[in-house]
Amino acid sequence: MRIHFKTSYEHDIRLFPDRWSFLVYALLIVVAVLLPWLIDDFFLGEVTNVLIWAIAGLGLMMLTGQTGQASLGHAAFLALGCYSCIIFMEQGLPFLIAFPAAGILTGIIGTIIAIPAIRLHGIYLAIATMALSILADDIIVLMEPITNGVSGKFAPVINIFGIEIERWGTPDRFYWLVLVVAIICTLIYRNILRSPLGRAFAAVRDSEVSATAMGIHISRTKAISFGISCAITGLAGALMGFFSGIVTNETFSIVISITLLMMIVIGGLGSIHGAFFGAVVVAFLPQFLSLAKETVIGGGVAIPGLETGVFGMILILFILFEPMGIYGRWMKIRIWFELFPFARKDMFKRQKSYLKTERLR
Amino acid sequence: MSNLLEIKNATLKFGGVTAVNDLTFSVEEGEVYAIVGPNGAGKSTVFNLISRFYDPYAGSINFDGNNLLDRNADAVADLGIARTFQNIELFDHATVLQNLLVGRHRHRSTNLLQEALFTSKVRREEKRHREAVEEVIDFLDLQPYRDKMIAGLPYGVRKVVELGRALASGPRLLLLDEPASGLSVEETQDMRWWIDDIRKQMGITVLMVEHDMGLVSGVSDRVLALADGAKLAEGTPAQVQSDPAVIEAYLGAGAA
């Protein structure tokens, strides 16, 4: 059992609570950097896929987990980030400028779209943003001169100071690129969480009435959250484009939006770990299912809807039995070991909450 | 002493119901002013008018020379007005420390970019906010709960945390909506001392709504009795308690 003996306020502000957790994460990063030499190209591609999903998950987590606004429109922002990055590069911009620019553009457009949308609450916001996902498909087809419509666009080769990076040609370099983006996004996410803005997000999520009384501008805070969320999602979208090599109007469908939302719920709402855990499930489940199907009933047999069915089932089970997601389960297991043998089942019981002030507006 | 808060001829109607009817009162700097009245008298509505959650139908609300009606609800805190709620409105999925730090939000001086990069200015500010919050923690004896989630805390502690969050913002006027409701006798006694100290040590003006007459007569300088949104009586606690109109409102005609 570890006891944090705090001697300064720094202790609660810095990134890692103690040397031990710093070492764990340092080790994790070392292993992540060395990964291309440890596993073959197929699995490296899978890990790259996990990281890209995790970045997208971080984007949605900022909005849904931290600020409490559900969005089913994030596939549209993935598409926006992807198309704008590819188009910027086709116009001759180097990747190092085109990629952040795509993120910033997605963030700005996300904020503009958010301004009317955040007037809606809960399920209504989800429905309004769902419309975005559906519209995105049509908009890509309608804007054929720029987007190439249904025939789609090929992702160009990334060139950073003469080093060429390509998904199939140099999977290790592409993996490192994604890893760097994932680490930067995680750091920014963590920094926002430990600063006043992150607390304002939590305040808006938990009680809009008292957040207002504390001087927090609700709609501005939500719009900022939308902006950051969309910017990170845009970056993930661009990486997805480079990962799949070709993007069409069907690449970023509504199903991607739903998967993304399910992913962060399964992973654990409101935690950085949750985005990564959820990404592992989302990225590996299809592979796992096809493997399982082959061994159980043999290859060649198609079961339509198997993947979505299993996904839905997992989601229902999590909501019923582990609303905190995989991260919540992870914490419980950790605490159990840390307190051994003093952990008790009731320690994790959810407390009932008290009456809330009725909506004022 | 000068008037810190002035409410003149405030009227608020919800459809056909007049919740606040031509109400005029003022709170002097440095005093504890209590509002009492039967259920539905419009006490909390007065608070929500000051917090700008409701727009008055008529009348004016001034705070230290500023017209509150010119401001949005989120700009009221900037003037130094902090409040608590009748049914505790804390941020449940955050720790006590984080809740108190949200109270410091009106002193935020860093922007999004600085916070995303966590520059040295943000770090410095964080420590400054933390120092202010620690003073509140010491004042309210919240040390054992610093890192506890609100969702797991007992009612009495939540009540204190909410008071702490309001104090952390460094207010000039503190609005307490039923600070003693649901508290035990001992906790109410603590609350009474705290309110006394808030006024005497911190120099904060307190406006409170409270049903517990023991607490009201113990701490407040002046009391306003409301019934059906209108003023019944105003004066020292003893004057208001012996006012025939107040007794009639609570107990019915003929009881006096």
In CATH, what number is assigned to the domain containing residue B17?
3.40.50.300
- Domain total of chain B: 1
Q: Assess if residue B139 is contained within a domain.
A: no
**How far is residue B98's CA from residue A222's CA, in Å, rounded to a whole number?**
19
Instruction: State yes or no: pLDDT of A344 exceeds 80.
Output: no
Q: Measure the CA–CA gap between A127 and B26, rounded to whole angstroms.
A: 47
Residue B103 lies in a domain: no
R_g of chain A computed on alpha carbons? 21
Is the residue at B106 inside a domain?
no
Instruction: Assess if residue A43 is contained within a domain.
Output: yes
Of A262 and A342, the one with more pLDDT: A262
User: pTM for the full model?
Assistant: 0.90
pLDDT band at A250, cuts 50/70/90?
confident
- The nearest alpha carbon in chain A to B55 belongs to A361
Distance from B125 to chain A by nearest Cα, in Å? 9
Closest in A207, A354, A360 to B48, CB measured: A360
pLDDT computed for residue B100 by the predictor:
96
A186, part of any domain: yes
Mean pLDDT of A138-144: 90
**Residues A288, B111: contact at Cβ < 8 Å?**
no
Residue B150 placed within a domain:
no
The reply to whether residue B87 touches residue A355, judged by beta carbons under 8 angstroms, is yes
Is B93 in contact with A216 (Cβ distance < 8 A)? Answer: no
* Predicted confidence (pLDDT) per residue in B141-169, tens digit: 999 999 999 988 889 999 999 999 999 99
As for how many domains chain A has, the answer is 1
Query: What is the extent of the structural domain holding A182?
Result: 39-254
Which residue out of A8, A58, A64, A199 would a mutagenesis test of the B interface target, given it has the greatest number of B Cβ atoms within 10 Å?
A199
Q: Tell me whether residues B89 and A207 touch, CB distance under 8 A.
A: yes
Q: How far apart are CA B234 and CA B117, in angstroms?
A: 54
Pick from A207, A211, A213: CB nearest B83: A213
Nearest CA in chain A to B166: A214
Which member of B54, B76, B87 has the closest CB to residue A354? B87
Q: Answer whether B122 sits within 8 Å of A195, measured CB to CB.
A: yes
The owner of tokens 């209504």 is A124
Alpha-carbon distance A274 to A266, whole Å? 8
Whether residue B245 lies inside any domain: the answer is yes
Bridge partners of A239, per DSSP, are: none
Q: Which chain B residues contact residue A213 at CB under 8 A?
A: 51, 73, 76-77, 82-83, 85, 89
Cβ contact (<8 Å) for A202 and B91? yes
Q: How far apart are CA A26 and CA A61, in angstroms?
A: 24
Asked whether residue A27 is assigned to any structural domain, the reply reads: no
Q: What's the mean per-residue pLDDT of chain A?
A: 89
Residue entry with tokens 């720790």: B95
Chain A residues touching B118 at Cβ < 8 A: 191, 194-195
CA-CA-CA-CA dihedral for B38, B39, B40, B44, to nearest 10: 100
Work out the percent of chain A whose per-residue pLDDT is above 70.
94
| pLDDT the model gives residue A287 | 84
For tokens 């605490």, name the residue.
A335
Residue A304: its pLDDT value, please?
Answer: 81
Flag residues of chain B having pLDDT under 70: 1, 254-256
Answer whether residue B211 is part of any domain: yes
Compute the count of residue pairs across chains A and B with CB atoms less than 8 Å apart: 134
Indicate whether A361 pLDDT > 50: no
Residue of B nearest to A66 (CA): B93
| A216 min Cα distance to partner chain B (Å) | 6
Give yes or no for a contact between B208 and B35, defined as CB atoms under 8 angstroms apart.
Answer: yes
Sequence-ordered list of residues with C-beta below 8 angstroms from that of A74, at least 6 positions apart, any chain: A56, A59, A60, A129, A133, A229, A230, A233, A256, A257, A260, A261
Asked whether residue B62 is domain-assigned, the answer is yes
For B65-96, write each residue's pLDDT tens digit: 899 999 999 999 999 999 999 888 999 889 99
User: How would you label A230-256 residue by residue, b for 16+ Cβ within 10 Å and e otherwise?
Assistant: bbbbbbbbbbbbbbbeebbbebbbbeb
In which element (H, E) is residue A180 found?
Answer: helix A171-193
CB–CB contact B91 A356 (8 Å): no
Using the beta-carbon criterion (under 8 Å), do A214 and B48 form an inter-chain contact?
no
Say what percent of chain A tops pLDDT 90. 59
Domain for residue A164, yes or no?
A: yes
Task: List the single residue in B with minimal CA-CA distance to A190.
Answer: B116
Band the pLDDT of A359: cuts 50, 70, 90: low
- Above 60 in pLDDT, residue A336? yes
Strands A246-247 and A153-154 come out as antiparallel
**ipTM of predicted complex:** 0.91
Which chain B residues have a beta carbon less than 8 Å from that of A361?
53
Residue closest to A126 by CA, chosen among A30, A310, A260: A260
> What's the average model confidence in pLDDT over A182-201?
95
A25-41 tens-digit pLDDT? 999 999 999 999 999 99
Q: Which of B45, B49, B118, B129 to mutate to test the interface with A (most CBs of A within 10 A)?
A: B118
Containing domain of residue B224, as a range? 3-80+171-251
Give the Cβ contact number of residue B171 at 10 Å: 22
Instruction: Work out the pLDDT band at A355, boundaries 50, 70, 90.
Output: low
Higher pLDDT, A36 or A322: A36
Whether residue B154 is contained in a domain is answered as: no
